[in-house]
Structure 1
Amino acid sequence: MQPVFFALMSRMQNVHRWGKSNPTRAENVAEHSFQVAMFAHALGEVRNRVFVDEPKVDANHLAVVALFHDAPEVLTEDVNSGIKYSDKRMLALCRQMEAIASHMLISTLPEPLQQSYQGLIEHEDSPEVARFVKAADLLSAYTKAVQELRAGNMEFEGTERKVMAALQPFIDSMPEVAWFMEHCVPAFHMTIDDLVDAALVSDKE
């Protein structure tokens, strides 16, 4: 069979998020995955370079795991989190569907590559890595809510509250997440003009 994995994964740009929330700007799973990878890498670097007394992590590995964290959605589509976590039975069914989709995805790879990607797609990693990636995933959702609210989209009021409630345990237990929230997230409230001006000022310092 012809390997179709990479062509199939490239269709993640056609899988849309936030469908039930009427976002002012559509977001697809491909760009979300990029942002989660960027945030996971940043959290790893903050751990290693700011909180130097904490155990070191592989920031590059965190980024790669995060890049594939929603890979099954290229087959399953995005399931609304409010529905997914509404009932234990629903969550179990979603997990089962994701496991089946993961297995299907891996089977589309050339056999010599399957083992390399299996751990990434089936989330076979350490609890610490999973914790970093989940924190990055929630940060991505939170900053999306912030941007939507800044655009006047009150549909995301509830989203912001729910995501913050889910994010709070990570803020309390992971100093790198608290640091990112304090130092990096406020910029998501800024306009593009303010962001560019800040970049110009930083470049002159």
Structure 2
Amino acid sequence: MENVMEHSWEVATISHALGLIRNRYFGGTLDVNAIVVAAMYHDCSEVITGDMPSPIKYHSAEITRAYQSIERQAEQELLSLLPEDLQGDYEAVMIEDKIPKEHRVVIKAADTISAYLKCQMEVSAGNSEFSKAAEDIKRKLEATDLPEVRYFLETFSPSYSLTLDELLKT
């Protein structure tokens, strides 16, 4: 079972890859380090709110808006717990509205890739409950207009299903 720390680490590493891919292959000028740090904190509100399953969180526009409001309040609550002279530094990475939109887009894409990889792992382990989610997320990723996402899926995604022996032979 994955916890928020593990998930955040995975999203940060995928965000790092996506940012580098965009900059190297698709003419981007992203601040990859800023993206990685923000990705580390992307679910920090869950310290207070807990994790809300995506099917519930996005069931309706009303539920989505309400939960986003709760998340924003939780971010502010966490920020207020920090020493005042550090709050400005953390605000730039913890408060979603303070993160540049182009960074948020990359982090969201990495979060979606992480969810897809998790579903794939569960399906490979025989847990068919994740099959529908894997298909839905794959369609969403394939429909993206972010070339770095397509590149990541084509180049790196297949290796996630390999055993260590298979990985080392490639």
Partner of 1:77: 50
TM-score, normalized by length of structure 2? 0.94
Report the Cα distance in structure 2 between the residues aligned to 1:140 and 1:36, rounded to whole angstroms. Answer: 6
Q: Which structure 1 segments of 5+ residues have no match?
A: 1-25, 199-205
Q: Does 1:121 align with 2:121?
A: no
Letter of the aligned partner of 2:2 in structure 1?
E
Letter of the aligned partner of 2:9 in structure 1?
F
> 1:181 deviation in Å?
0.5
Q: Which structure 2 segments of 5+ residues have no match?
A: none
Partner of 2:32: 59
From 149, 159, 163, the counterpart of 1:191: 163
- Which runs of structure 2 are paired with 1:21-60 in the superposition (5 Å)? 26-51=1-26, 54-60=27-33
Report the Cα distance in structure 2 between the residues aligned to 1:78 and 1:163, rounded to whole angstroms. Answer: 18
Report the Cα distance in structure 1 between the residues aligned to 2:129 and 2:81, rounded to whole angstroms. Answer: 38
Letter of the aligned partner of 2:114 in structure 1?
S
Supply the RMSD in Å over aligned alpha carbons. Answer: 1.2
Letter of the aligned partner of 1:36 in structure 2?
V
Q: Does 1:105 align with 2:95?
A: no
Partner of 2:122: 148
| Secondary structure class of the residue paired with 1:70 | coil
| Secondary structure class of the residue paired with 2:59 | coil
| Secondary structure class of the residue paired with 1:27 | coil
From 118, 124, 132, the counterpart of 2:106: 132
> 1:91 deviation in Å?
0.8
Partner of 1:168: 142
From 90, 95, 98, the counterpart of 2:63: 90
| Secondary structure class of the residue paired with 1:93 | helix
Report the Cα distance in structure 2 between the residues aligned to 1:91 and 1:39, rounded to whole angstroms. Answer: 25
| Secondary structure class of the residue paired with 1:55 | coil
The structure with the larger Rg is 1
> 1:165 deviation in Å?
2.9
